[in-house]
Structure 1
Amino acid sequence: MDIIQELCKKYTDLTDEEIATIQGMSAVLQPLANLEDADIFIDCPSWDGDAIVVAEAKPSYVPSSYKKTVVGLLARKENEPAVARTFRLGVATKQMKAVTQENGRTIQSVEPIRNATGDRVIGVLIREQRVDEQRQISERLHFSEQSYERIANALAHMVGSNNWLTECIDEALLMVDKSGVVTFRNSLARDLYRKLGYIDDPLGQPYENVRLVDSWNDMDQSGFSVIETTVGRHSLSIKRIQLDSEDMAFAVVIQDLTWKKEQEKALILKSVAIKEMHHRVKNNLQTIASLLRLQVRRSDNEETRKVLGESMNRILSIATTHELLAQSGVDQVKIGEVILNIKNNTVRYFARPHFDVNITLEGDDFEVDSDIATSVALIINELLQNSLQYAFQDREKGLVRIVVTRGELYSRIEVIDDGSGYDVENVRTDRLGLSIVQTMVKDKLRGTLDVESGPGGTHVTFEFKNQIMDAASVT
């Protein structure tokens, strides 16, 4: 009994005939994974309403999203909405975000697999591509040119008895025989030619009547050629792959890049707008901080100067975050950069003669969105201010450690000093700094706060929920 049969018998209600259908389809997953540069899976519905992974194929030429096999693991509805939708509705679902069994982020496209009579969905074919490794179109085309042989081999598996596989790729496919006639096309090719204004189906026509480019370059030398062209309002990438076949001369794979090109332009415009927005916010905050600095210099009251100085530092901590966001042009920023900038600002403000404080940053570095970054900046600012202001009085040296640990669902930041400590049970409840920390952790970060302090120093730990990925709309 092979693994597919064993898993289906144990976790599903599929019949022997339906299991055989799944087994037959699993044999051609590897060519599809290599063609699409994607992880390919077959999931079957389990007894408990979720799905179980019964077969997989990892791409041979690009990194997989998975370090280990996921065959035999459950696919939860809440993590893979595309899979759940296809099982529920029995229709294909394209380009939806998902969370893998290893908590990675991927983009899923899912096709239903039906039984012989077509009245029941017995599984789904899943294609997953990594979100964090979106390659430029030019890079993908260059890579394909160097590897046209594996594309030709994959296409050879897709015709004949495995025609259903051609409906699982996101590209239009034409197969041209030795006499120059289009003898096969998938449904995407038919629909694409309709969008381009062709009335007749390309199937059965001479390729010369339906070709979209004037000439091909370097076909004789490599057996592979690729051209980017524009037809009307559509941007297309057209690949021609020579086939080593008795009947077929070559295949033509057409990818409609129109939407991607438009999205690239939109992202550039959005990046510029984000940079400008964060730049203006930063400038406004720095202006406010400058006004507070003037008030500090003019005031003769020490308590007033102290309060204004603390407020100025808080504003500058937020301004620092917006400065980093303005430089990146996106709504994500490295948490290590945020903390380092806050550390440097705080050290400059609290510098005093004959006092040497060493503040270290340890642990993980990862990207967070602007809301999390701003909240973390304020919290770190308050905790460092508290340490430098109160923990090392009458001392010439001090150590503060900031430790960042990234978790699967929650991340943790610890601020540890070797100062004099204090009684956490008798802290004044009206202290603004402590109130800011508690409010930020609880309300903004939806996390937890823990404070331990004694003669050997103070240890503050706060956890915050990592950014949650929303499911994308179906396209």
Structure 2
Amino acid sequence: MNNIRELCLKYTYLSNKDIEAIQSISKTLQFIADSSKADVFIDCLSKTKSDSAIVVVSAKPRNSQSLYKENVVGKLAIRKNEPAVIRTLQTGIPSRDIKAITQENIIVKQNVEPIKNEKNEVIAVIISEKDVTEDVKENKKLEILAETNEELISQIEGKKIKYGNGDIAYHVNDAILIFDEDGILRFKNPVADELYKKLGYNQELIGMDFSNLALSKSTLSQIIEKKSIEVEEIDIGDMSFQIKYISQGSKVLKLAMLIKDITDVKEKERELILKSVVIKEIHHRVKNNLQTIASLLRLQSRRIHSEEFTIAINESINRILSIAITHEILAKQGIDEVNIKDVINKIKRFMVTLDKRDDLDLSIEIEGDDLIISSDKSTAVALVVNEAIQNCIKHAFVGKNSGKIVVKIEKGNSYSTVSVRDDGIGFDVNSISNSSLGLMIINSLVSDKLKGNLNIQSNENGTNLLFDFKN
């Protein structure tokens, strides 16, 4: 009993409660070995080596010859040699009469039953092994092949779709297995052979029962009763599969099971999720750093009483926070694209309006289309809109008690436009100073970053700044 505990603690992730359950069941192992005249073992999934199990206890029959010369407790059972053991440990599905190779290189037939805990989790398996020569099923297999040969020729060969020089079933990437109404495998393609070899099956698949080839817990009768195409995804060890079941009318070709190995796809999905988490964390840190810089500048501005310096600091804070907004959204989404409308709405909410007169009733509206663009473009657009709104607040409403700024987004097929319009006093476009920092920033971003065009129109009814960029 102590040996079981030591092995489980050393080689598995099992809890004390699970180990106690295995110890309890092990008390009946000798009885099972004697009654079945077979070598009996309890194996648990190993934590030290993938696709392997550790033998924690064994019992040899006392009333018949054991197949083993030595004690194999503490040794590993690997998928390649004992596929039924790993299959049942990973899926919880019993396995019947599956060929295996023992630790002493003897070919045996295994029957494997799962041992489950109170949470219905598989914690171990009981394995019963008999000499392969005692179980003669080859004659039945030959009878099956002879009985179905004619129907297979008429229903598969006669109706097959040609692909080059052969049957399409031999050229597809999916494993194809076809069972009769009794659940006996009647047809399989080469991909099926390769897939089950990966799972450790070393024997001929034709003639095997559905229950021994099933990779999920669905039974043959459950699948056939649904009378529809059923699709499910399962994980077995480090491998992932998509299984499709198609019920058919023929008694001999009752159920088609198509299996696609999607291990690489799932691995790429996991890599993308991991990258997404990393990217989100990077954007989160960049956003925090930018906000810290803005906070430091704000503290600095309070210590200096120069009006010109305060204005310059506030403008810089707005620019920094405009960039931070894009990173804030990216930190939540984990992808490199954002809705620019969301970004501009956030600019509107955080806009530092220290330049606005207390007696000015100002409204800022965002309208138009949702537009998804890359983070690079989003940062540039955010800065342009920020500069435009700041200019409106500073210059557009001199001598007025109220004002309105409208930012409009228009999504086009190839190019999209963003306009910032106010109902202020307007100005002479030709008199704009080339030394204006705000205008220099806008021109640079539109032409260099966005590769777009900038147009400014103004009269006594207000000003409209419009720029475009490629989607």
Deviation at 1:310, TM superposition (A): 0.8
Report the counterpart of residue 40 of structure 1 in structure 2: none
Q: CA deviation at 1:215?
A: 4.9
* Correspondent of 2:449 among 415, 426, 444: 444
* CA drift at 1:330: 2.2
* Letter in structure 2 aligned against 1:430: S
Match of 2:337 among 329, 332, 350: 332
1:304 and 1:237, CA in 2 relative to 1: closer, same or farther beyond 3 A? Answer: same
1:238 aligned counterpart, secondary structure: strand
> What runs of 5+ residues in structure 2 fail to find an aligned partner?
1-154
2:422 to 409, 413, 417: 417
Seen in structure 2, the aligned counterparts of structure 1 residues 208 and 341 have a Cα distance that, compared at 3 Å, is closer
Q: Contact 1:446 / 1:465 at 8 angstroms: preserved in 2?
A: yes
Task: Write the distance in 1 (CA, Å) between the matches of 2:274 and 2:158.
Answer: 42
Distance 2:216 2:469 in 1: 57
Return the offset for 1:175.
3.0
Matches within 5 A, 1:87-102: none
Say if 2:174 is the partner of 1:175.
no
Q: Distance in 1 between matches of 2:407 and 2:214?
A: 60
Q: Give distance in 2, aligned partners of 1:280 and 1:420.
A: 42
Of all paired residues, the percent bearing the same amino acid is 41
- What one-letter code is carried by the residue in structure 1 that aligns with 2:225? Q
- Alignment TM-score, normalising by the size of structure 1: 0.59
In structure 1, stretches of 5+ residues that fail to align are 1-155, 467-475
* CA shift for structure 1 position 239: 2.9
Q: Does 1:263 align with 2:265?
A: no
Does residue 455 in structure 1 map to residue 460 in structure 2?
yes
Distance in structure 1 (CA, Å) of the matches to 2:303 and 2:456: 37
Q: Is the 8 A contact 2:216 2:234 kept in 1?
A: no
- Cα 1:456–1:347 change in 2 (3 A) is farther
Contact 1:236 1:258 survives alignment (8 Å): yes
CA 252–460 in structure 1, closer or farther in 2 if over 3 Å, else same: same
Q: Which amino acid aligns with 2:423?
A: D
Alignment match, 2:382: 377
> 1:316 aligns to what SS in structure 2?
helix
Aligned pairs (5 A) from 1:378-397: 378-397=383-402
**Structure 2 CA distance for aligned equivalents of residues 399 and 290 of structure 1:** 29
Question: 1:209-242 deviations in whole A, cap 9, x for unaligned?
Answer: 9724375242253135555433442111323222
Which of 390, 399, 403 in structure 1 is aligned with 2:404? 399
Cα distance in structure 2, aligned partners of 1:297 and 1:213? 69
CA distance in 1, matches of 2:400, 2:268: 57
Counterpart in the other structure of 1:91: none
CA distance in 1, matches of 2:445, 2:158: 59
CA deviations over 1:156-185 (Å, ceiling 9, x no partner): 999924354768976433333457344353
Q: Cα distance, 1:400 vs. partner?
A: 1.4
Letter in 2 for 1:223: K
TM-score by length of 2: 0.59
Q: Which residue is 1:160 aligned to? A: 159
* Cα distance in 2 for residues equivalent to 1:336 and 1:269: 28
Q: Which amino acid aligns with 2:179?
A: V
SS at 1:393 equivalent? coil
C-alpha distance in structure 1 between counterparts of 2:371 and 2:334, whole Å? 17
Q: For 2:325 and 2:362, locate their aligned partners in 1 and report how far apart those are by CA, in whole Å.
A: 22
Aligned pairs for 1:23-102 (under 5 A) are none
Cα distance, 1:264 vs. partner? Answer: 2.9
How far residue 415 of structure 1 moved from its aligned partner, in angstroms, is: 1.1
Of 215, 219, 223, which aligns to 1:213?
215
Larger radius of gyration: 2
Question: Would you say the 8 A contact 1:193–1:201 is kept in 2?
Answer: no
Corresponding residue for residue 275 of structure 1: 280
Q: How many residues align?
A: 309
* Alignment partner, residue 227 of structure 2: 223
Q: What corresponds to 2:436 in structure 1?
A: 431
CA–CA separation in structure 2 for the residues paired with 1:395 and 1:158 = 87
Deviation at 1:318, TM superposition (A): 0.9
Distance 1:169 1:461, change over 3 A: farther
Query: Take 1:215 and 1:316, find their aligned partners in 2: how far apart are those partners?
Result: 54
- Amino acid across the alignment from 2:442: V
